[in-house]
Structure formats: structure tokens, C-alpha cells
Amino acid sequence: MAAPAPMKMETDSESVESQIIELVTSFPQGVADKVLIANMPYVDPKARAQAINKLLVEEKIDLFKSSEGLLYRLKSPSKAATISGDQEEKIVFRIVESSGNLGSWIRDIRAKSNLGQTQLNKVLKSLEGKRLIKAVKSVNATKKKVYMLYNLEPDHSVTGGAWYSDQDFESEFVEILNQQCYRFLYHKLETSRDGSAGPIAAKNSSMVSTKDVAKFITDLGISKVALKEKDIEAILNTIVYDGKAEKCEGGESGSLYRAVEPLLPSAGLARCPCGVCPVIRRCGDKGNIKPDTCNYFRDWLEEF
Amino acid sequence: MSDSDPLTKLLGQIVSDVFGETAALVATDIASFTVKTFSQILSSTSLSIKEVRAALGVLIQHRLVSFSDTAKPGKVDYLIQTENILSFLRYPRFLYLVKTAHGDEAELMVEEIIKSGSETATNILFRTAKRLHESQEVPAQPPNISDLNSQLVSLISNSLIERSEQLGQNTAATAVLCPNLVENKLLLNTPVDVDEKAISTAVMTKCETVEPGNDQDVLWRLNMKKCEQMVRDQMIVAAAGRRVDKQAGLVVQSLLRIVERQADATVSAQFSHQAISDQVAADHGKDSLAHIYLDQYLRVLGDDRTRFVDRVGDSGGGQYHVDLKHIITDMVEGCLDCIILEKFSSKAVRIFRYIREKRFVEEGQLQQVVMIPAKETKMLTYQLLENHFIHLQELRKSVAPTAPSKAFYLYYVDLPQAVRTCVSVCYKAVYNCRSRAKFEAVEHSRLLDKHERIETIAASLKASGGTEEQLEEVAEMMTPPEKEAVKKIHAKLDKLSEAQSQADETLSVLRLYLDYNSMA
């Protein structure tokens, strides 16, 4: 029996690689090892293994293990291949990249990459030095740092959105917005009272929608940041919780708001010094804190 | 004494101011136990039998203590009537209400009744007439008794004054230690005939007392419930006026008049649109804006968060009812918000209201919504927690107590509890104001006494026709700085009494809420 002539082995590695890539591209869900072999029978197994290894290093394909054996899948081009750095840096970079603009916490990176603490720190420092990733402080937990790609905008949940600037809650800004919105609503309420077309008409004319308020605020121009409708709604909600406004169900354009007067102008108890006394619980007949010698009483009675 | 709760101390103080020390001792003693028998009072106050008997007599006459022997027949229990004692604080306001509603003479009559607890009609009329007669500058015609009588009758028909309980029949022939008092519901508001002529002659001749007439057995007393109802209605009308506008306040007034005529309940019975329309027309006229826009006002009042009126059916042009409990709850919430506002800050109010709306709130979530810096939010929340306005609810994640398992801590508002805390603060505040007033009076007693003496001398000089010089001499007995000081002291005392009545106002709203809460 004549031995079949040894087939011409393709040892040209580049063409092997390009064939493999073609194959993997045409099967985006992955190519099993057996399929690979079947499609390239003339390739020397050693050469094939070499080509596959090279592609893996260049990160053009990914190696998975499925129930039937090994699976190769095309990898979306990642910047990881382009950076100069060793394997660990590439792994860490890929993990950081995958977390998008939420960023990943150092513990997560460690879990995913299985690197040691000190080594990971070194890698992160070098990547930061190369300006490939950056650390962003999370506003929820001040000690926590998340890493994300250098040029990405951190997500709102991390920085807090329009209300935070450099991790500081801009309380004055919020206060000013609060006051302005309330003034707008109150002004509407007052003008509605002057009308004499009956109570329902008066009530309707005192209502404003979120859009009106947003327009008013942007016209005022007190905000450096462009405020979205959701932000304005958050401010309006705080006014509702202050008890100065109420929310009504509107028609098409979402909810309407109107200013309201509180039911009681002020509580009688608060007009007496005891009502607002911080040590009322320790006040009694004996001891230092007595009504007869109370400082608060004295000051209150002195002022005329 | 210093260990007793604020309420007992306040009751004791009020009784001692009006009736003296002995009565106060007895009252405090009963109050600290709510119910006591005679022998118990004797042993714990260590007063003599005569004293205790006299004190009890006075307290019972003014209905501050009531007695019954239903618990143990043969042994009489004495119960303290807290409401009646606290109503002493409210008498000034009630008198003002009566004056605005019924006139000066009616006010005098009510004052006479308050002074003596309960009185016969003859005595009331006599004493009122006497006061009017005496206060007139020039002794002129005596006041018309029949006018006074008709005023009295109108007070009775408005149920401001009602008949006291009368002595019921003894069931057994044996002597009974404890008299049986029966309330005659049918005759509660029917007036009696009085001998007007006899009273008139008595006044003319400046007698001290008047002959007891036919109505000797019928005693009249002030109906506290009605007074409180009037105050409550006034508050609700004012709130509606603020919320919507003045005309809405008038509509609510008419609604409350309809509710008055029904039985006492937290939610009124239904009434039709026609009834409302008639009432508004009767109260405010057919041309008033309230009547013209009645439908609209009813809509607006119903849509409002406070739900001043609810539409419950469509028959007969619309059926409505008034949910008093809900209105009072809303007002109490507003009251608590005001107190927190003054005590802490407006940011604390925001936090409190948010927790109240959302029932159960986690700490982290809180900060996001209220838009206050995290540190400040935490501090204010803990301050509110310390003062019992909000409470903490723990939800464990796992049952094992050993592991440091994460438990959820949620904040919530227990409204009755917060109200009770405020009520206790109110008691303390009223007590302190009165205490301080007494202290100030005692400290400056020399000055005040001097001032009073001078005033009386000047008045008697004027009455007996003194000359200008004499009056001037008297006036100069006090130096200007002294006069200034006296004025200052008077202003201080006024301020204290004003503060007292304002604290009492808050107290009445809060107590009303607690009553309604326990009723339904």
C-alpha cells in the first residue's frame, strides 16, 4: 500500500493565522477546536498551535472551554493590545475598560485578575503614570476609589451629578435653586389670587409644570451646569417636602406643582421659651435648671 | 412632689392658684393616683378630717373631682377630672368667644357661673344684674331682668350652659352614703321660669342675696364640650381660609354648623348638596361669593390634601361628609412641623416630613432625596431621634444573633407617640410660665404692692371728690423710675400669661387629636 504522499504542510504562519481569523470571524459564536482542524487539514498541528498562541498573545482571539472541548472566539479589538506593557497590565487594563464609566473598585480588580496586592498596586501605578486609567473618588463612600479609563466621564452615581463639584455637595447652589423655584411658585399663587373668576380657575392658574420651572431657571442663568428636567424635579420635590408646595397630577406633561400656604401659621408652643428649650427634659423644681432662674426666660422677658 | 409627672404638677399648681394650698394638696394626691378613697387621702396627705372634707367639698362643687361608688358599693371613690382642671387655663379664651358671639351681658353671666361652679338661674341673673348696676357710673335704671333672662335662655338653647345632674331616687330604703346623680338628658337645655320681679327688687334695694325661687333645685353649669367645639371650629375655618381663600372659610363654617347638629363622631353623617346650599344661603346670603361659587369651592376643598369635605355619593345632587379626624390629623401634623421648625431648623422639617410621607426610610436613601449634605442630614436625624419625634425600626437579615449580620435600620414616625411627647412638653411649658410669673410677682412684690396702694388711694379720693392737688400729691408718691419699673413688670407678667395661653392652644389641638385617635 502506497503511503499517501505527505501533504504539503502549510507552515507559513501568517497565512495560517489569517485563515484561522477568517474562520473565527465567520462563526461569531465561536469555533470549536475540531471544526478548526477539519477546516484546515493541511496545517501542521504544531504550526496551528503556534499560530493560535500568537493570536492569543496579540489578543485577536479568545480561548474558551466548552462542554465539547476548546472554543475559539473572535475578540473585539481592544486597546489592550496596543498598550505597551506586560501581560498583567494588559489584564488589569481590560478589567478596568470593561466596567465602563462606573469604574471598578480595587477589590473587584483583584478578584478578577487574581493578582497579589502589592503587584496590583504596582500595575495600577504604572498604568496611571501612562495616563491610561484614572482614579475617581466615589461620592457615596469617600474612602472608596474606582478606576476607569482616562478619557471617560464618570457616571452620575459616582460623582453625584449636577449637585456635586469635586466631591463636595454644593449645598449653597441647591439652596439658591430651592429659593428661586419657591419664589416662582409663590408669585404664581399670588397672581392667581387677584383673579375673580372663582376658586377653580384661581387654583388652575397657580399651577406650573416642570418645564415652566426649568425654563425659568435657565432664563435666570444662575446655574453653570445645564440642569436637566429630572434635576429640577428633584428640587421641586424638596420644596414639596418642605410643606411649601404640593404636587398635583397633571395632564400630558407629567406632574404640576403649586405653592400652598401652611395650615397653621405657627405653633403656640413655639412662642414660649420652653417650647424651644434644648434642656427642657432636665428642667424641674430642684437643681440648676428651674423656671425661676432660667436664662432663656430672662433673655426673652428682657427683649421688648 | 418633684418626681411627679408634668401633668400632676400642673394640676396641683392650677388648683392652688385658684383654691388654695389645702385643696391643692388633696387634688395632687388624688391626681397622682387618679382614684382614691377618703381614708387613703387622709393617710397620704396627713391633713385633718375637717380640712380634707372642706377641700373635697370645694373641688366637687366645681366639678374638679367626681365621686362614685360603683366600684365597691359602700365605699366612695373620688376621681380627678383632669379636663375640668385644665379648662381653667382656657376660660379667658372662652369668655372672649362668648362675648363675640352673644354680647357683654352673656359674658358676665358665664363668668358668674365659672366663679361658682354651678348655680341656679335666679342667682345667676341676680348677680349679673347687680354687677351691671354697680358698674354703671351714674345709678340709673336697673338693668332689665327680662332682657337678661332672654339672653340666658339663648345661651341655654345654644347649649353653652346646661343643666347639672340632679339627685336621683334612692333605690333602697336604707341610708345611702353616696348620693346618686342622674343626668336628665331630656331637660338638658330647657330653661326654667324665674321670678323676675323678685330679682329686680332685690337689685334695686342692693341686697346681698336674693330669695330662693321656684327653681331652687335646678343648677346650671358651663358646657365645656361646646366651648371646645367652638374653638375647634374656629381653627378649622381659619385653616381653610389660609389654604384657599376667605370665602372658602365661610363655606367651611356653614359645613361645620351642619355637622354640629348631628351626633358627635369623628366622621360626620352624610348630608346632601341641597342642605349645604341652604345653610350657606342662610349664613352668608344668596349673593355672597360663597353661594355663587359653591360647587367650585366644594370641589377645591375636596381636592385639597386636607380634604375639608369629601364627596361620597351622587344622589340628590351630591352627598358630602366631613372627616373631622383627618382634618385634625392634618392640623396636628402642621403643628408638629412648626414646633420642629422653631426648635431645630427648616432642614429638619424637610427630613421629618419626608420620613412621615414614606413611612419607612433608610438612612442612605434619605440623603439623596432631601438634598442636604450628608453630615448635616445625619446630625439632624439623630437630633430628631433623641427628641422622640422619629423612631428606629430594626430588621435583622439573619436570625443568628452571634454573627455581626447586617440589620436594616429604618426610620419611621409614630404620630401618636410624637404627639404625646409634645403634650408633655406643653404641660411643662405652662407650668414653667406660671411658676415664673409667680416668682416675678414675689420678687417685685414691694413695688407692686406700693403701686396698688397708690392706685386705691387715688380711686377712693376721686370717688369722694378730692381736689386736683390731692390727686397730684398721691401721684407723686411714686417716682418716675419706679413707675417705669412697674410698667415693665406688668408687661413681663402679661407676656408670661400670653405665652401660657398660647402653649395651651397647642395643647388643646394635640389633645383633641389623641381623643379622636382613641375614639375611632
- Cβ-defined contact of A267 to B506 (cutoff 8 Å): yes
Residues contacting A298, CB < 8 A, separation 6+: none
Q: What is the mean pLDDT of residues A185-199?
A: 78
Whether residue B334 contacts residue A263, with contact meaning beta carbons closer than 8 Å, is answered with: yes
H-state helical runs in B214-309: 224-243, 246-260, 273-284, 289-292, 294-303
How much is the pTM?
0.76
Mutate to test the interface with A, among B89, B335, B338, B510 (most CBs of A within 10 A): B338
Shortest distance, CA A149 to any CA of chain B (angstroms): 27
Is a pLDDT exceeding 80 seen at residue B141? no
Look at the block and give the residue holding cell 428682657.
A302
Question: What pLDDT does B175 receive?
Answer: 40
What does the CA dihedral A7, A12, A13, A15 come to, rounded to 10 degrees? -90
The answer, yes or no, to whether residue B139 has pLDDT greater than 70, is: no
Per-residue pLDDT reduced to its tens digit, B328-375: 898 899 888 888 888 888 889 889 989 888 888 888 888 878 888 888
Residue A267: per-residue pLDDT: 76
Largest pairwise CA distance in chain A: 126
**According to the model, what pLDDT value does residue B93 have?**
83
Q: What whole-number distance in Å separates Cα of residue B489 and Cα of residue B190? A: 47
Count residue pairs from A and B with Cβ separation < 8 A: 157
Select the more confidently predicted residue: B438 or B139: B438
Under 8 Å between Cβ of A205 and A197: no
**Range with the largest mean pLDDT of A154-158, B66-70, B447-451:** B447-451
- Express each pLDDT in A220-256 by its tens digit: 877 777 777 778 888 888 888 888 888 877 666 667 8
Query: Which DSSP state fits A277?
Result: -
Shortest distance, CA A157 to any CA of chain B (angstroms): 11
- Identify the residue among A144, A263, A271, A281 best suited for mutation to test binding to B, counting B beta carbons within 10 A and taking the highest: A263
Degrees (nearest 5) of the Cα angle B500, B506, B509?
Answer: 140
CB contact under 8 A, B371 and A242: no
pLDDT at A7 over 70: no
B435 neighbourhood in chain A, CB within 8 Å:
290-292
- Nearest-Cα residue of chain B relative to residue A170: B373
* Beta strand spans in A106-234 (E): 133-137, 145-149, 164-165, 168-169, 208-209
- Most A CBs within 10 A among B93, B358, B371, hence the mutation to make, goes to B371
Q: How far is A287 from chain B (nearest CA, A)?
A: 11
The answer to whether the Cβ–Cβ distance between A171 and B373 falls below 8 Å is yes
Q: What are phi and psi of A84, to 5 degrees?
A: -95, 125
Query: What confidence score (pLDDT) does residue B315 get?
Result: 82
Mean pLDDT of chain A: 74
Closest residue to A276, CB basis, from B1, B343, B370: B343
* Structure confidence by residue, pLDDT tens digits, A49-70: 777 777 777 666 777 776 767 7
DSSP string, B225-238: HHHHHHHHHHHHHH
B338 and A294: CB-CB below 8 Å?
Answer: no
For residue B95, the one-letter residue type is L
ipTM of the complex: 0.73
> Mean pLDDT across chain B, nearest whole number?
80
Residue A10: per-residue pLDDT: 47
Residue B173 pLDDT grade (very low, low, confident, very high; cuts 50, 70, 90):
very low
Q: In A, which residues are within 8 Å of B231 by CB distance?
A: none
Q: Which residues of B touch A269 (CB under 8 A)?
A: 339, 422, 425-426, 429, 502-503, 506-507
Is residue B243 a contact partner of residue B286, using CB atoms and an 8 Å limit?
A: no
Nearest to A148 by CA among A114, A112, A101: A101
